[in-house]
């Protein structure tokens, strides 16, 4: 049986269902450092750069990383050079990638979502815009908009009014009811939801017993959170009509298979790329094998099989 790995997120056609998670693969750096010619053969089916904000952000004070049991805690703090530098310096280079590019934006103020979306709307280099609603919001004293349905609705509405691009909203799992937030995003005009962002956590230095991270708390990712992510994808994909991008701990082909079965139309790999920057290649090949073994001919035939 020939397995067809092609999948679609609305108008975005992807050669296979595995993309990268924002903030975990910097193609411009990786192409310099790694031997592979990533612009000739890009292993992910779409490219999502690190989240950008209106103004540049230095990010949180180091240390920013700590490994936990089967997980990684980080507090990068959305370090980025700002949307103007992104448009000016990065976009022209990213346009050379052989896959769709999905910009990720976040707002420190609610209206930033509208402003950023407007700035990206005319850019042909971009196939879609992902809204990261987990940015500390200044009006909310650092609380993220994405932590409640109303805040999410506001941010998404502003972006929706400012762009006709395919609009993805990336959900945080740190809420009582992620389905409610997903519904608000779709209600406000999101074309697609991606989930999950990292789970709130903290680590102490084993010796000094003080918080390790400069920012005290951080976000947990990796295999440790896979069950949390899988549940969220399973519930959200049944509750909203928009396609879902599933992520959170995807490390093996079996993981990708399960996220698709849980209801995702595509999956993203984050932390696993730190284990091996080209792990995606093995995941895509392995996914085809697992689908073949199970007699599943297409991603559409797999997506939601667990429901």
Ligand X SMILES: Cc1cc2nc3c(=O)[nH]c(=O)nc-3n(C[C@H](O)[C@H](O)[C@H](O)COP(=O)(O)O)c2cc1C
Residue closer to another protein by CB (options 39, 274) is 274
3-state DSSP assignment of residue 189: coil
Q: Which of residues 58-77 bind ligand X (CB under 6 A)?
A: 72, 74, 76
Short-list 45, 194, 31, 47, CA closest to 126: 47
Q: Buried b vs exposed e over 5-28: b needs ≥16 C-beta within 10 Å?
A: bebebeebebbbbbbbbbbbbebe
Q: Among 172, 221, 237, 265, which residue interacts with ligand X (rule: CB under 6 A)?
A: 221
Q: Which lies closer to ligand X via its Cβ, residue 162 or residue 273?
A: 273
Q: How many CB atoms lie within 10 A of CB 49?
A: 22
Least Å distance, CB 80 to another protein, is: 9
Nearer to ligand FAD, 206 or 295 (CB): 206
Alpha-carbon torsion 40, 44, 45, 49, what sign? negative
Q: Is 209 in the site for another protein (CB under 8 A)?
A: no
DSSP string, 231-264: HHHHHHHHH-SS-EEEESS--SHHHHHHHHHTT-
Given the rule CB under 6 A, which of 29-37, 129-137, 199-207, 216-224 is the region that contacts ligand FAD? 199-207
Instruction: Tell me the closest approach of the beta carbon of residue 14 to ligand X, in angstroms.
Output: 17
Q: Determine whether 192 is an active site residue.
A: no
Q: Tell which positions 68-127 bind ligand X, by CB under 6 A.
A: 72, 74, 76, 78, 104
Q: Which does 217 bind (CB under 5 to 8 A by kind): a second copy, ligand X, ligand FAD, none?
A: a second copy
């Amino acid at each position: 049986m020939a397995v067809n790995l092609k999948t679609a997120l609305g108008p975005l056609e992807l050669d296979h269902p595995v993309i990268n998670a924002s903030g975990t693969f910097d193609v411009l750096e990786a192409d310099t450092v790694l031997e592979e010619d990533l612009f000739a053969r890009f292993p992910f089916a779409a490219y999502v750069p690190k989240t950008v904000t209106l103004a540049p952000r230095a990010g949180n004070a180091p240390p920013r990383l700590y490994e936990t049991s089967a997980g990684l805690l980080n507090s990068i703090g959305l370090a980025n050079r700002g949307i103007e530098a992104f448009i000016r310096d990065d976009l022209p280079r990213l346009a050379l990638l052989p896959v769709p590019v999905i910009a990720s934006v976040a707002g420190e103020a609610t209206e930033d979502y509208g402003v950023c979306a407007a700035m990206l709307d005319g850019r042909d280099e971009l196939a879609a815009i992902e809204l990261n609603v987990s940015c500390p919001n200044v009006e909310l004293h650092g609380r993220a908009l994405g932590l409640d349905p109303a805040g999410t609705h506001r941010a998404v509405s502003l972006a929706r009014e400012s762009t006709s691009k395919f609009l993805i909203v990336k959900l945080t799992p740190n809420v009582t009811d992620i389905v409610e937030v997903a519904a608000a995003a779709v209600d406000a005009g999101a074309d697609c939801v991606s989930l999950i962002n990292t789970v709130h956590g903290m680590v102490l230095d084993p010796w000094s017993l003080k918080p390790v991270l400069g920012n005290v708390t951080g976000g947990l990712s990796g295999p440790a959170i896979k069950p949390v992510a899988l549940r969220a994808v399973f519930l959200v994909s049944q509750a909203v009509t928009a396609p879902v991008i599933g992520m959170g701990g995807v490390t093996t082909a079996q993981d990708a298979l399960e996220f698709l079965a849980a209801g995702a139309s595509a999956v993203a790999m984050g932390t696993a790329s730190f284990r091996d920057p080209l792990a995606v290649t093995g995941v895509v090949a392995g996914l085809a094998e697992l689908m073949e073994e199970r007699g599943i001919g297409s991603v559409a035939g797999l997506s939601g099989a667990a429901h």
